[in-house]
Chains A and B, each alone.
Chain A
Amino acid sequence: MNANPMDVASGAEPTAAPAWRQETLTQRVAGFFLRDRRAMVGMILLVVMLFAAFVGPRLVPYEPDQPNVRNRFAAPSWSHWMGTDRSGRDLLSRVLAGASVSFRVAIGAALLALLIGAPLGAVTSYIGGLVDDVTQRCMDAIIAFPARLLAIVLVVLMGPSVVSLWFAIAFSSIPRYARIVRGSVLDQKEREYVEAAHAIGEGRLAILFLYILPNVLPPLAVQVTLDFASAVTVEASLSFLGLGLVPPTISWGGLLNDAQQWLEEAPWLAIFPGAALALTVLSFVLIGDAIRDHLDPRTRRRGGTR
């Protein structure tokens, strides 16, 4: 009806869409790990550590608590890859046993913080007003405490157990989740597409779940990954100070605490558990950093040439 050269059909010019855009989510996640060297190294390390933690103990010939007085302080050898400790217990078996404890504490603590912090941030920012203000001040007060100090105090109050470690470690990271979510929700609320959703008549819940939440999840994923790393460290340091898990529970921090007295006689006691700890933390940090850089448009600058 209209001789206009740019009429209707003209908007349908083919856009050159690169092939990767047609990939499924799984392919894209896989592609990310294959393309980013850090992510790949981190992932391999993590898989190895997880395997060691949950399958490893079944593969080693020694029980972690089995003493052998005739073989005390044995240096690493083919029969004891990581050597033995003051009661002749096999260090490899103990490190493997410590791994599963580390993962249990770290995963529990990070998820607990996520489960408390994220909804807290979402709800308070959505309600706003006084509730939001008061919550914010409380979060400020928690942040004023050095994280490790807070964990120490809480663990002292609750007594050493896996569950109290969860809470003690999670507590100081709750504000971080609450802030990430609150910040993102407030940021997203300002976006025009949320306003546009109001304009087509979306309800409040639909807006929260369909529009805001999907945009908040990525930064949360990064935080959880990085929190695994810090939870592993905090758990180890608490146990190292003798405030975390106590024998007979085996933890890397406890092993290192033990090793401290025999540094001169048996340095391997310090080296192996520490290395296991460092590699685990490293794997989480590598993955977390890679995801963050991938999501951050600042570090993922593209070739715009205005």
Chain B
Amino acid sequence: MAAPTKRMIRYTLLRALQMIPTVLLVTVAVFVLIIIIPGDPVLSMLGYYADDVTAVPHEIYDRMFRELRLDRPIPVQYLYWLGDALQGDFGKSVVFRVPVIDVVLSRVPATLYLGTASLLIAIAVSVPFGVWAAVKNDTWVDHLASGFVLFGIAVPGFWFGMIVILVFAIYLGWLPSIGYVPPQEDFLRFLKHLILPATVLGLDVAANILRFQRTDFLDQLHQDYVRTARAKGLPGQLVIWKHVLKNSLIATVTVVGLNTARLLGGSTIIETLFSYPGLSRLLIEAIYARDFPVIQAVVLWMVVLVVIVNFFVDLIYAYLNPRIRYATA
């Protein structure tokens, strides 16, 4: 058993190394954001919207200009920026007048709670449902699953959210429609505020996962190895839960991974609709306020999250599909 473990470690290291170029490319893209935004960076830093240089005293402008290292060549600016970013220094928020990192960190927990809750809902709904629908191909279960998928894809989250608010918050009055309460403050109220947004988001993602999972599972069911397993006399249930599921999880993990990254970055739509103070909401607020350092930090967070989640997806992938870890290591 030692050899597979060693292979897995080697694969992990190799894959971690491969993340570096992607992350660098992403940081360049995020850095470039600040360069290509319209307007004078010094002015926007100081909170001015117009390009009126005369509004700011000369010496202050020049000092800012040097502080922002705008006198240096762009690649040098990037390296400084990257160095700072690696230490968690993204500058100061224009709006909140505090370090960007503090603003961002204050919003992370809310988003993580919502993301995790909806992810759990999504997986709990989609995986068993997908397997069931594929096994009962072309029966009412399958049609129900297809209907659910169509519904999830066709109905945009913000509209579904509004209907849910309308029904459960306004007409029935069971749950609060907006806001957030930290769990350490009042856990019950925290949950109550979480239920609606997490369900709306979770079902949306569930439809997305189900769509891929069902087709893939169906595809796997028709593979030759399934027939071999049946020919060995293994009961249908064992064949499904042992042989088919492991292979079909490869596709499922990919979709779940994609959606995890999306969820942990926060959903702009749902956070806005439910006035939920997460990262995405922060992003929208920062966009309205033209708070570029905050935008940069949030975008970077979201994208790095995608890269990291993809890394873990690939590891699970390699665990599920021995061909991958052997091909690389």
Chain A residues packing against B (C-beta within 8 Å):
137-138, 140-141, 144-146, 148-149, 152-153, 156-157, 229, 233, 236-237, 240-243, 256, 259-260, 263-264, 267, 270-271, 274, 277-279, 281-282, 285-286, 298-299, 301
Contacts and interface: CB of A to CB of B under 8 A. Distances in A.
Contacts of B153: 229, 281, 285
Nearest to B36: A157
B306 A259 contact: no
B319 interface: no
A146 B29 contact: no
A133 to B, nearest CB: 11
Contacts of B218: 299
Given A153-B33, A278-B159, A285-B154, A241 B268 contact: yes
Nearest to B290: A156
Q: SS class of chain A's interface: helix, strand, loop or mixed?
A: helix
Contacts of B268: 148-149, 152, 237, 241
**Size category of the binding interface on chain B:** 35 or more
Contacts of A140: 22
16 contacts: A146-B306, A149-B303, A152-B284, A157-B33, A237-B156, A237-B268, A237-B269, A240-B158, A259-B162, A260-B273, A263-B165, A270-B159, A274-B162, A277-B156, A278-B154, A282-B150
Given A144-B26, A263-B166, A282-B150, A274 B159 contact: yes
B219 interface: yes
Contacts of B154: 229, 278-279, 281-282, 285
Given A146-B262, A256-B159, 13 more contacts: A141-B22, A145-B303, A146-B265, A148-B268, A149-B303, A152-B284, A157-B36, A233-B156, A240-B158, A241-B284, A243-B284, A263-B170, A270-B166
A285 B156 CA distance: 13
A264 B177 CA distance: 11
B269 A240 contact: yes
Contact of A270 (B163, B262, B288): B163
Given A157-B36, A241-B268, A281 B156 contact: yes
Nearest to B215: A299
Contacts of A282: 150, 154
B287 interface: yes
A259 B163 CA distance: 11
A84 to B, nearest CB: 18
Contacts of A141: 22, 25-26, 29
B37 A157 contact: yes
Contacts, number: 112
B178 to A, nearest CB: 10
A236 B155 CA distance: 12
A116 B306 CA distance: 25
B200 to A, nearest CB: 13
A145 to B, nearest CB: 6
A153 B273 contact: no
B156 A137 contact: no
A229 B156 CA distance: 11
Contacts of B307: 144
A153 B299 contact: yes
A237 B158 contact: yes
B158 A256 contact: yes
B300 to A, nearest CB: 11
CB-based closest 3 A-B pairs: A274-B159, A282-B154, A141-B25
Given A152-B268, A263-B166, A277 B159 contact: yes
Contacts of A241: 268-269, 272, 284
B283 interface: yes
Contacts of A138: 25
B196 interface: no
Contacts of A152: 268, 283-284, 287
B75 interface: no
A242 B281 CA distance: 13
Nearest to A146: B262
A131 B273 CA distance: 43
B235 interface: no
A144 B306 contact: yes
Given A144-B26, A229-B153, A298 B219 contact: yes
Contacts of B36: 157
Nearest to A281: B154
Contacts of B22: 137, 140-141, 144
Interface in B187-229: 215, 218-219, 222
Contacts of A259: 162
Nearest to A301: B222
Interface string B265-297: 100110011000000000110011000000100
Contacts of B310: 144
Given A152-B287, A157-B36, A236-B156, A285 B150 contact: yes
Nearest to B29: A141
A282 B261 CA distance: 26
B57 interface: no
